Structure 1
């Protein structure tokens, strides 16, 4: 299944990305400075919204810097597997989760191993990967295997081998009860937060069907506007696109809602560079086939057209 796109291109003043840049400018100018968990410090506002039209293949892919959409897509497909070990990501050269287990390894062993060498060892050594590569019950575990406990007698409970697959249940509900207000995928499992390398930032997804179109809302409790949000916008839009294809719906709109939306203090130079740039172009995503289920997509199924980003901007990750 392939898709055809129109040649329409939005003027820069109407480009969806202006919302992103305006939010960046607002935080820079009006944000409240506060200390944070990482010790880096942020300028922050509370409560923000970005809306993106997903019709005709449009995707909220930032153009004022390069966003590695294949990396973001590989991460999203990894979430859908329910895996919580970074090994499969490292095998694909995806390092966006490596800093957290690497930080733990350095603290607990005292070895100043490089990230490159740490990732290589994760890939090569089964025992090392099992001990040091697991992130705890992060996103994918909650999405497709939310734990459920049942009575085991004598006042005891045991965990079912397979928990709730929220993604599969949403596919079923969209197909069979599209008017429901319960099309939700939730990552914030309070009982397991202390076992996660990082509690979910993009925590709640809700989907809505109207006039044959599927829209989605993402609530993100903590939003690193420079590094995290471009990936999160892409991932949320991709989620909508995959669900729409699986449920015979057309893509509608992405509504992104941020709670604590912030700029890290050590991103100030990058922010100034990005705010000097003007959005351009209208990237489109083509999904080359429709697999049997939402869990069967592969990176080769996705092609982005008309993406000509401006130069890369590099900013450090706060762990």
Structure 2
């Protein structure tokens, strides 16, 4: 575990948040809200000793992030299971589509209640398209079917393949998976932001790199960093390796203009404590983990900071 006297892992995040807010290029974006943006930053987090990059300058709902990661690994793309677990982070996209296409002014609680109660409604309005989990564990393939025709072949489970390759070919430079399926982007509620993960084995330790094409530093980063560290820990455990470093990098790292209050409040706070992530058991498969297998200890964050999500 990093020395107590070592610089707190969170300072590099706070430095980047300040740099983007003070010196980022101000631009209009897809959502219409506007951002300040910098291109190509990176950070490194040591995961030894069960350390986890869980922000302390605001309370992060780490169980929500963990539930989302476990949901990705099932390959599910409908919000119904998330809503059943009281996870609301994906609801805004199908809700927005429902309002636009039907003209019905329904609030989130009523929309989610219909998702849970009505199978047909959930099927019609709860699906997000072929987002993360679909690509991670069920990437479509096609094979010739004669006379210029094609039929679906056996789907690719990138995660299962990754575990196999880490175990059997740990020096490979192909220990990676991605969600960026160009042919299916138009069908996704939101194209993948945390899109490519790559891994490296050295000295009995598994390190990972997450590359994001786009990162909302005010809201998204806290979940992205924790989830990537959690997944790395799961992979390391499955492959009998110790955790190494998480390297985080982004293309467009941005702060939304309506998050000014969040930036100033968070930068006024001092990081405290060094949270750790414990995994209570080793399932037979990377797909066998449950939410109760994970525990965060020594986490005493500052208060939550509310900020709107740009859809």
TM bucket normalised to smaller: over 0.9
Q: 1:192 aligns with which of 181, 184, 191?
A: 184
CA drift of 1:9 comes to 5.7
Q: Do the aligned residues in 2 keep the contact of 1:105 with 1:111 (CA within 8 Å)?
A: yes
Q: Do the aligned residues in 2 keep the contact of 1:9 with 1:281 (CA within 8 Å)?
A: no
CA drift of 1:303 comes to 0.7
Contiguous gaps of at least 5 residues in structure 1: 1-5
**1:72 and 2:61 matched:** no
Q: TM-score normalized by structure 1?
A: 0.96
CA drift of 1:261 comes to 0.3
**1:101 and 2:94 matched:** yes
Q: State the distance in 2 between where 1:245 and 1:291 align.
A: 9
1:1-319 → structure 2 map (5 Å cutoff): 10-11=4-5, 14-160=7-153, 162-319=154-311
Q: State the distance in 2 between where 1:236 and 1:180 align.
A: 20
Aligned to 1:243, the other structure's residue is in SS state helix
Q: State the distance in 1 between where 2:97 and 2:218 align.
A: 24
Aligned to 1:88, the other structure's residue is in SS state helix
Q: Do the aligned residues in 2 keep the contact of 1:63 with 1:307 (CA within 8 Å)?
A: yes
Cα deviation, 1:204-232, whole Å, max 9, x if unaligned, reads 00000000000000000000001001100
Q: State the distance in 1 between where 2:261 and 2:297 align.
A: 30
Contiguous gaps of at least 5 residues in structure 2: none
Q: State the distance in 2 between where 1:10 and 1:154 align.
A: 67
Aligned to 1:295, the other structure's residue is in SS state coil
Q: State the distance in 1 between where 2:269 and 2:4 align.
A: 16
Q: State the distance in 1 between where 2:49 and 2:116 align.
A: 39
Q: TM-score normalized by structure 2?
A: 0.99
Q: State the distance in 1 between where 2:26 and 2:152 align.
A: 43
Aligned to 1:294, the other structure's residue is in SS state coil
Structure 1 stretches of 4+ with a deviation exceeding 2 A read: 8-11
Q: State the distance in 2 between where 1:50 and 1:140 align.
A: 25
CA drift of 1:157 comes to 0.3
Aligned to 2:40, the other structure's residue is in SS state strand
Cα deviation, 1:129-161, whole Å, max 9, x if unaligned, reads 00000000000000001110011122100112x
User: Cα RMSD over matched residues?
Assistant: 1.0
CA drift of 1:65 comes to 0.2
Count of aligned pairs: 311
Q: Do the aligned residues in 2 keep the contact of 1:9 with 1:282 (CA within 8 Å)?
A: no
Cα deviation, 1:176-231, whole Å, max 9, x if unaligned, reads 00000000111100000000000000000000000000000000000000100110
